Amino acid sequence: MTLLIIIIALALVFDYINGFHDAANSIATVVATKVLSPFQAVLWAAFFNFLAYWVFGFGVADTVAKTAHTMEIDLVVILAGVIAAIIWNLFTWWQGIPSSSSHTLIGGFAGSAIAHAGFDVVNWYIPAKDGGLPSGVAIVIAFIVLAPFVGALASYLISVWLLHASRKSIWPKLFTAGIIILTVWFISTQLYYYEKIKEPRFESEFWSVVFESHNIKWFLIGFIILTLAIFALVFSSLSNSKAEVILKRTQLISSAAFSLGHGGNDSQKVMGIIAAAVAVYINTSGSAQAAMPEWLDVVLPKDDTPGKMPEWIPLACYSAIALGTLSGGWKIVKTMGSKITKVTAFEGVAAESAGALTLYFTEHLKIPVSTTHTITGSIIGVGLTKRISAVRWGVTVSLVWAWVLTIPISAILAALIYWILKIFI
């Protein structure tokens, strides 16, 4: 039990480090465009990191918890993985490298598991069910490429849409009207209506539907797209100075949306590690699930049976990442906010909106993507709308190398730490 508590404590320490390591993802553009001061920006981002507790489910947590077969590993495996993730995160933060905390954690978990029981212990590929996407470490690795590409494509398309909307022509307005109609229709098809909600929060059917966590996420997606659409409809009638003022105010919305996605995506990864640690403790200690104290009543998902965990785990994880964000990450803010490409309020809105939409959709699909990769790709996408040379490709290539190396280095480091720990534990 002592080792389990140490792992839980270190996992929350990692979550805190994740907060200040990845704070730049949420605040770099609002600081670069001077919409908010650095202090105001971290307060803003931390608040929405924590608010994500009421918005997102546990889909990503379930995926991370199943990185390795919990029946075939022990607590030392998870301890080594968390320690390796903390070391690599601190090193990359000190060097000002916006590497992925998510991939650090998954790489560390997988590396120590391989050191313990070989390559077969890792869930490399889990086939899709019920029309969803497959999962496993191979899918996470694939999204090292796909997440920034999707973010870049989304921000590029949003930028092109808004640039055309600035022209005094009827066609961009007709296109925007079509976007509004399609968005309203699509969101309406994704909502859980009252008869589908298993545990309504209110007696009122209306409020139960509005505050269902699954629905809140889709309402936010609709709100982001419709906010952009409303601006697009009036963009051509605004002076440059008036448009700049509105864009800076809109940036508060887009940065808040991205901070929500950051909190919801990254906190779940630590929740998954804690859930896996409890499952391993039950398997290796001989304790029955029923004999576990109520505060450790964790059940991993299996087949069609959803998992469960006590409320203190998500609450602690969301609190830790919010506190970490409050601590800031100024070394990485400089890289994200100015070194990749020059960012104005226009680019900030497009990049953050695209990043938020990417995180919401991948969370819905239970894919633990990197918020760092996503926002970096989004910033590159808006840079490409100006010209290819607007993106500082030398910096970008260095970042890509850091992304590619994060999982193998974290895995190797975790394996070494595992072998050292086994000498003493």
Angle between helix 312-326 and helix 23-32 axes, rounded to 10 deg: 40
Q: How far is CA 409 from the centre of its chain?
A: 21
Contact 360, 221 (CB under 8 A): yes
pLDDT, position 154: 94
Q: Among 201-215, 244-258, 280-294, 338-352, which range has the highest average pLDDT?
A: 244-258
- Looking at the chain, the whole-number percentage of residues with pLDDT higher than 70 is 86
Angle between helix 23-32 and helix 38-51 axes, rounded to 10 deg: 140
Q: For 64-104, give the DSSP string.
A: HHTSB-GGG--HHHHHHHHHHHHHHHHHHHHTT----HHHH
pLDDT above 50 (res 337): no
Contact 262, 22 (CB under 8 A): yes
Mean pLDDT estimate for the chain: 83
pLDDT above 90 (res 12): yes
Across 277-304, average pLDDT: 71
pLDDT, position 189: 93
Across 201-224, average pLDDT: 87
pLDDT above 80 (res 164): yes
Confidence grade of residue 361 (pLDDT, cut at 50, 70, 90): confident
Rounded to 10 degrees, the C-alpha dihedral 341/342/344/346 comes to: -30
pLDDT, position 80: 96
Q: Among 131-135, 211-215, 221-225, which range has the highest average pLDDT?
A: 221-225
pLDDT, position 366: 78
Angle between helix 240-285 and helix 75-94 axes, rounded to 10 deg: 150
Confidence grade of residue 335 (pLDDT, cut at 50, 70, 90): very low
Half-sphere exposure of 253 (CA within 13 A, CB side): 21
Dist. CA 422–CA 80, nearest whole Å: 10
pLDDT above 80 (res 159): yes
pLDDT above 80 (res 395): no
Which residue has better confidence, 393 or 360? 360
Contact 335, 96 (CB under 8 A): yes
Across 183-189, average pLDDT: 95
Confidence grade of residue 228 (pLDDT, cut at 50, 70, 90): very high
pLDDT above 50 (res 229): yes
pLDDT above 90 (res 231): yes
Q: Exposed, middle or buried, 92 (CB in 10 Å: 0-12/13-18/19+)?
A: buried
Dist. CA 329–CA 371, nearest whole Å: 15
Which strand (E) or helix (H) includes residue 144?
helix 137-165
Contact 111, 83 (CB under 8 A): no
Confidence grade of residue 339 (pLDDT, cut at 50, 70, 90): very low
- Looking at the chain, the whole-number percentage of residues with pLDDT higher than 90 is 29
Please tell me the pTM assigned to this model: 0.84
Contact 381, 155 (CB under 8 A): yes
pLDDT, position 340: 45
pLDDT above 60 (res 315): yes
Contact 299, 308 (CB under 8 A): yes
Confidence grade of residue 304 (pLDDT, cut at 50, 70, 90): low
16 to 9, 93, 94: CA distances (angstroms): 11, 13, 15
Across 284-307, average pLDDT: 67
Across 260-264, average pLDDT: 85
